[in-house]
């Protein structure tokens, strides 16, 4: 059973917010058949420590504006995790993204097409 429509919509909002702060390599992994606790992991790369934090702040703000508050925010300088229960947003530095390879760990799960990524490709960016 694919991720619910409401979680998919939250994922799209979070991805657009990340793109506004120049988050890259975004991928949304549908974990609904694999995990009990979360439906989607959204993984985003930030170019540097300040950008990782800025992306996390922007995602948190945009989701707050639509009434969503994270159950928790955890992290270090290079990795911030925003837990919205059914949606977990991972914002990582390039180095940590390559080291932990979360997308590879969950590569047997389907992905959710992100509108912002589709628009970027269509615009040639």
> The CATH number of the domain where 91 resides is what?
3.30.460.10
Is 121 a domain residue? no
Structure token pair of residue 45 = 């790369």
Q: How many domains does the chain have?
A: 1
Q: Report if residue 119 sits inside a domain.
A: no
Nearest CA to 10 out of 102, 86, 101 is that of: 86
- State pLDDT tens for residues 20-72: 999 999 999 999 888 667 899 999 999 999 999 999 999 999 999 999 999 99
Q: Which residues have C-beta within 8 Å of that of residue 1, sequence separation ≥ 6?
A: 32, 33
Confirm whether 123 is domain-assigned. no
Average pLDDT, the chain: 92
By residue range, what is the domain housing residue 22? Answer: 5-114
Burial (0-12, 13-18, 19+ Cβ within 10 Å), 43: buried
**Predicted local distance difference test score (pLDDT) of residue 32:** 87
The reply to whether the predicted model has a pTM over 0.85 is: yes
Strand order of the β-sheet with 24-30 is 72-75, 79-83, 87-93, 40-46, 24-30, 111-112
């Amino acid at each position: 059973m694919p991720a619910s429509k409401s979680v998919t919509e939250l994922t799209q909002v979070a991805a657009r917010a990340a793109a506004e702060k120049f988050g890259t390599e975004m991928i949304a992994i549908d974990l609904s058949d694999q995990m009990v606790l979360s439906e989607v992991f959204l993984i985003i790369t930030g170019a540097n420590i300040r950008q990782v934090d800025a992306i996390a702040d922007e995602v948190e703000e945009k989701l707050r504006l639509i009434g969503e508050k994270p159950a928790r925010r955890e992290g270090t300088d290079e990795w911030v995790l925003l837990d919205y229960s059914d949606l977990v947003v991972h914002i990582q530095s390039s180095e940590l993204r390559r080291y932990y390879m979360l997308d590879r760990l969950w590569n047997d799960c389907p992905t959710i097409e992100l509108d912002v990524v589709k628009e970027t490709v269509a615009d040639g960016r």
